[in-house]
Chains A and B, each alone.
Chain A
Amino acid sequence: MSTSNILEIQGIDKQFPGVKALSNVHIDLREGEVHAVCGENGAGKSTLMKIICGVHKPDSGTILLSGEPYTVENPNEAYARGIAIIYQESSLLPELTVLENIFMGHEPQKPIVPFLPAVKMIDYPSMRAKASSIFERLGMQIDLDAIVGTLGVATKQMIEIAKALTFDSQILILDEPTAALTSREVETLFETIRKLRAEGQSMLYISHRLDEIFQIADRVTVLRDGEYIETAPVTSVDKNQIVSWMVGRTLTNLYPKEEVEIGDVVLSVEGLCQEGVLDDIDFVARRGEILGIAGLAGAGRTELALALCGLTQPDAGEISLNGERVSFESYRSAMDHGIVYISEDRQAYGLVLPMMLRVNITHKVLPSISNLFGIIDRGQERGITDEYIEKLDIRAPDGDFVVNNLSGGNQQKVSVAKSLAVDPQILILDEPTRGVDVGAKSEIHRIISGLAKMGKTILLISSDLPEILGMSDRVLVMKTGTKAGEVMRRDMTQETILGMAL
């Protein structure tokens, strides 16, 4: 392997409003190597990749491609400079054929009218020939005329790679390529990556799955909270070393966890299964308890929450509430049983942003505050709204304030208020502090503690490990749809939890 650097990223800084996404990050990619970039969710991996392919602009720092300065405005220019990225989200069009997809926007053309070279048509024979040679290179048999929408996830992933290769790129960037694949499909993908490496293709491989990094990467760079931590050849480090680099931050006193007497079992789940998503999940949750649910993105945490509150239907398994077996055909029936779910995407599912505070907070209790004809009792509406504005300390002048104009933290409080208005026994909070600033974060934690103290059962789904450690009485760790383990508060460390989740 040659040791010249094809890509050098030096001192990249990137500030988003309120968040320092990257600070002084540097990576060098050698020619013909697979270089893994890893870090927890939010460590800045994807931001870095988006800077390389021109979606974001760095605030400072330089990038050198084969020794030349490299700045691009959009993905198109990145392709032209020889950097192709395979995105987490699919860039394929399901209605078109494999052939049409991989050359989309840059089909080879030939002139059709003599003396008028500007009039061109797509040159199908050369397109086919090029496509066949690319799939041959990938060691893959495929019908070029197959409609992409009819193919499996793994095949689509390979088509994405083929598409990137049509650009004759010097550098391939794979962003979490295995997220949607089964282990056998992952193996096929790795075969392909190894094959490409053997041909001298340089690749950046973004992942937080450590096992994969040891299988295919030559070197690994670890990022944490937007900062560069370390780069090392994978042969000279072990998994524990990487984990400690990934988590080695100091804990701050963000977590006003209060000791609460934990009561009887409220919720008990046995053998919960859902095809392809959840596999045999067992757990219980008690009165006054905060049960943390940890795991990597894609481990099935949100899916578990959805199945618990009737938003999706499990294929097998039992859910019992206070010892009584229940099944929910809709979210409404789960709510009637006292289970509420506060979505991780509060903007899309949790709140009606352009509407007033009072409309949002009373959304779930409308039937109980409106009369026979569905007319809302304004007095009750105001009463409930003012109560929660005060209780949760929502920073809004009054109940007529439009939710959209609140800060992220206060929006989250409105989301919680809306759910509390139905007086639930169980609250499922999905990433309650994602995207809120430090101050609001600690307030939300205080609210969660307060709820537990009131005797509510809290299921706290979070990718923020310190939050899980700081807030939970017990943690359920999930990994690829299964329960990887359970840890009591006294035994919790970042290493034990991350060790189970990875």
Chain B
Amino acid sequence: MSATTVKKRFKPTRETVLALIVLAFLLFLSGTTNFASRSGLYSFMLDVSPTIVAAIGVGMVIFTGNIDISLGTMSGFVAYTAGALVKAGAPMIVFVPAAILVGVFLAGLNGFITVKFKVPSIVVTLAMNMVHVGFYATFLPQSGWIENLGPRFTWFGRGRFFDVIPYTFVVAIVIAVFFVFVMKYSRFGKTLYAVGGDAQAAVYSGIDPDKTVMKVFLLEGFLIGISALLRAMTRNEVMPSVFIGRELFFISAALVGGISIAGGSGKIVGAVFGAMFVYLLTITMIYFGFQDYYQFALQGVIILMAVYITVTDFGRFNRLLRRITGRPPVHS
């Protein structure tokens, strides 16, 4: 209601709770380690950028009730394309769009098969994941390994503002802000929630779910293209196989960020904080000297807990919080 000036009470959402956790993490690391140094912050921002962009991409796919688990291997193709073109002497204005188009094409193929043949996206992308890996080994020279790409490739990925903020982080934040805006102010954004929330209700509202799913996969491909470049361009060589398994980080970032795997709910900003959370977790364990495999296992457990708290049982978490703090219930 417009006329009545109801003073809104502060109501923490899933996303604000997560943001606070991330903040607490940052403070904790700054206090106990040399994280707050120039190099600590730089490497955090550099590492988290590709995950932020990819989590937004897959997050939107998850909004519609679909999933994509070929994100890692698609990234490998994008990186290879960029590397091969650079080796062939292409300028940035050529290799960047071309590499992104490869992402759009591959994700678009996933979407097309999902929509056209009514195969669940988890099956399509699982299969495509295997196809991609096989393709690397069979058809790419040296399995796609290209070295000595030189500063023509790495100048952007390694560039930084004020000697601390990577260019890649700025790209990631611009993209995040843009998509927060898209979700709020475009019909397309609303449509994603409708299709994932209740496809029948979407049809009753005059929405074509198939078209929406196709569009969201294309968009995801665009973002995966950017994400893969943000990571690839920080190194002097490309190797598609290093991207295998990256999808686990991207998807868990989206899920920790409060995007429901069932579709129809969640926020872009949640995916951004989710990505930060997942990275901070890794960094913390590195600082405290956990071995690789412990790291992996512990990370899995913590992600499970985070998803449980932010998504599955936010209601109970709220009541617990209220009992501890004596505050009125949190809005879910």
Residue B95 CB within 8 A of the other chain: no
- Asked if A122 contacts B194 (CB within 8 A), the reply is no
Which residues in window 87-112 of B have CB below 8 A to A?
Answer: none
Q: How far is the CB of A335 from chain B (nearest CB, A)?
A: 32
Find out whether the CB atom of A122 lies under 8 angstroms from the CB atom of B1. no
Q: Report yes or no: A104 in contact with B194, Cβ–Cβ below 8 A.
A: yes
* Minimal beta-carbon separation of B270 from chain A (angstroms): 13
Known: A104-B205, A105-B207. A95 touches B193 (CB 8 A): yes
Complex contact A76–B197 (CB within 8 A): no
- Least CB distance, A451 to chain B, in whole angstroms: 38
Is B2's beta carbon under 8 Å from chain A? yes
Q: Give the chain B neighbours of A87 by CB distance below 8 A.
A: 204
In the bound complex, what is the Cα–Cα distance between A94 and B184 (angstroms)?
17
Q: Are the C-beta atoms of B197 and A105 separated by less than 8 Å?
A: no
Provide the residues of chain B in CB contact with A143, threshold 8 Å: 1
A169 to B55, CA, bound (A): 41
Asked if B206 contacts A107 (CB within 8 A), the reply is no
Interface assignment of A249: CB less than 8 Å from any CB of chain B: no
* Residues of chain A within 8 A of B204, CB atoms compared: 75, 87, 91
A107–B184 Cα distance when bound, in Å, is 11
Q: Is the CB of A144 within 8 A of B186?
A: no
B302 at the interface (CB under 8 A from A): no
Chain B residue total in the interface (Cβ 8 A):
22
Q: Whole-angstrom distance from the CB of B161 to the nearest CB of chain A?
A: 28
Among B186, B200, B206, chain A packs the most CB atoms within 10 A around the CB of B206
On whether A104 and B207 interact (CB within 8 A), knowing A95-B197, A95-B264, the answer reads yes
Which B residues are in CB contact (< 8 Å) with A76?
206
Partner of B202, one of A105, A124, A128: A105
CA distance A143 to B204 in the complex (A): 24
Q: Does B47 contact A (CB under 8 A)?
A: no
**Do A90 and B201 touch across chains, with their CB atoms under 8 A apart?**
yes
B206 touches A106 (CB 8 A): yes
How far, in whole Å, are A132 and B184 apart by their CA atoms in the complex?
Answer: 20
Q: Is the CB of B2 within 8 A of A104?
A: no
Q: Are the CB atoms of A132 and B1 closer together than 8 Å? A: yes
Closest CB in chain B relative to A123 CB, distance in Å: 9
| Contact sample, A vs B, 13 pairs, CB 8 Å cutoff | A79-B206, A91-B198, A91-B201, A93-B194, A95-B264, A96-B197, A100-B193, A104-B190, A106-B205, A107-B190, A109-B187, A122-B186, A128-B2
CB distance from A422 to the nearest CB of B (A): 36
**Bound complex: CA A43 to CA B191 (Å):** 36
User: Do B1 and A100 touch (CB < 8 A)?
Assistant: no
- With contact pairs A90-B201, A105-B187, A132-B2 given, residues A96 and B206 touching in the complex (Cβ less than 8 Å): no
Rounded to whole Å, the gap between the CB of A84 and the closest CB of chain B is 10
A371: CB under 8 A from chain B? no
Kindly state whether residue B203 has any CB partner on chain A within 8 Å. yes
- Chain A residue numbers with a CB within 8 Å of B185 are 121-122, 124
Expressed in whole angstroms, the minimum distance between the Cβ of B189 and any Cβ of chain A is: 8
> Within 8 Å CB of A96, what residues of B?
190, 193-194, 197
A-B pairs, top 6 by smallest CB distance, nearest first, are A76-B206, A91-B204, A121-B185, A95-B265, A93-B197, A105-B205
> Does A89 sit within 8 A of B, measured CB to CB?
yes
Residues of chain B whose beta carbon lies under 8 Å from any beta carbon of chain A: 1-2, 184-187, 190-191, 193-194, 197-198, 200-207, 264-265
Write out, one digit per residue, whether chain A residues 98-128 have a CB within 8 A of any chain B CB (1) or not (0).
0010001111010000000000111010001
A91 vs B206: C-alpha distance in the bound complex, in angstroms? 11
* Chain B residues positioned under 8 Å from A100 (CB to CB): 190, 193
- List, in ascending order, chain B residues with CB within 8 A of A307's CB: none
Would B201 and A105 count as touching, CB distance under 8 A?
no
Q: Which residues of A contact B194 (CB under 8 A)?
A: 93, 96, 104-105
- Verify if A141 is at the interface (C-beta below 8 Å from B): yes
Closest to A100 in B: B190
Interface residues on A, range: 20 to 34
Residue of B nearest to A112 (CB): B185
Instruction: Give bound CA distance, A175 to B202, whole Å.
Output: 18
- A89 & B200 in contact (Cβ 8 Å cutoff): yes
- Whether the pair A93, B1 counts as a contact (CB closer than 8 A) is no
In angstroms, Cα B3 to Cα A155, docked, is: 21
Whether the Cβ atoms of A75 and B203 lie closer than 8 Å is yes
Chain A residues with CB under 8 A of B265: 95
Chain A residue contacts of B190, Cβ below 8 A? 96, 100, 104-105, 107, 122
Determine the chain B residues whose CB is within 8 A of the CB of A92 once the complex forms. Answer: 201
Chain A neighbourhood of B186, CB < 8 A = 120-122
Cβ A75 vs Cβ B206 within 8 A: yes
B171, chain A: closest CB distance, angstroms: 21
Chain B residue, CB-CB nearest to A80: B206
Give CA–CA (A141, B2) in the complex, Å: 12
A116 to chain B, nearest CB (A): 14
Contacts of A144 in B (CB 8 A): 1
**Other than the known A89-B200, A91-B198, what 17 A-B pairs have Cβ atoms closer than 8 Å?**
A74-B203, A75-B203, A75-B204, A87-B204, A91-B200, A92-B201, A95-B193, A96-B194, A100-B193, A104-B205, A105-B206, A107-B187, A122-B184, A122-B187, A124-B185, A128-B2, A144-B1
> Contact: B1 with A141, CB < 8 Å?
yes
Inter-chain CA distance A75–B204, complex, in Å, is 6
Contact of B197 among A89, A94, A122, A128 (CB under 8 A): A94
Residues from chain A with a CB closer than 8 A to the CB of B184 are 122
The docked-state distance in angstroms from the alpha carbon of A12 to that of B41 is 72
Partner of B201, one of A93, A124, A128: A93
A53: nearest chain-B partner, CB-CB: B204
**Bound-state Cα–Cα, A105 to B202, Å:** 8
For B200, the chain A residues whose CB sits under 8 A away are 89, 91
Say whether A105 contacts B264, CB under 8 Å. Answer: no
CB closest residue in chain B, given A160: B204
Give the docked Cα–Cα distance between A95 and B197 (Å).
8
Smallest Cβ distance from A30 to chain B, in angstroms? 27
Residues of A within 8 A of B191 (CB): 104-105
CB neighbours (8 Å) of A106 from chain B are: 205-206
Which residues of the other chain, A, contact B206 by a CB distance below 8 angstroms?
Answer: 74-76, 79, 105-106
Distance in angstroms between the alpha carbons of A66 and B237 in the assembled complex: 70
A93 to B187, Cβ gap below 8 A? no
How far does the alpha carbon of A120 sit from the alpha carbon of B190 in the complex, in Å? 14
CB distance from A389 to the nearest CB of B (A): 35
Complex CA gap A128/B185 in Å reads 14
Complex Cα–Cα for A373 and B1 (A): 66
Within 46-104 of A, Cβ neighbours of B (below 8 Å) are at 74-76, 79, 87, 89-96, 100, 104
Q: Find out whether the CB atom of B264 lies under 8 angstroms from the CB atom of A93.
A: yes
Asked if residues A91 and B205 are in contact (CB atoms below 8 Å), the reply is: yes
A258-309: which have CB < 8 Å to B?
Answer: none
- The docked-state distance in angstroms from the alpha carbon of A353 to that of B185 is 45
Contacts of B198 in A (CB 8 A): 91, 93
Closest to A90 in B: B201
Q: How far is the CA of A107 from the CA of B207 in the complex (A)?
A: 12
Nearest CB in chain B: distance from A83 CB, A: 12
Residues of B within 8 A of A124 (CB): 185
The complex places the Cα of A87 from the Cα of B200 at a distance, in Å, of: 11
Give bound CA distance, A224 to B186, whole Å.
47
Within the complex, the shortest CB–CB distance from A104 to chain B, in Å, comes to: 4
What residues of B have a CB within 8 angstroms of the CB of A120 in the complex?
Answer: 186-187
Give the chain A neighbours of B187 by CB distance below 8 A. Answer: 105, 107, 109, 120, 122
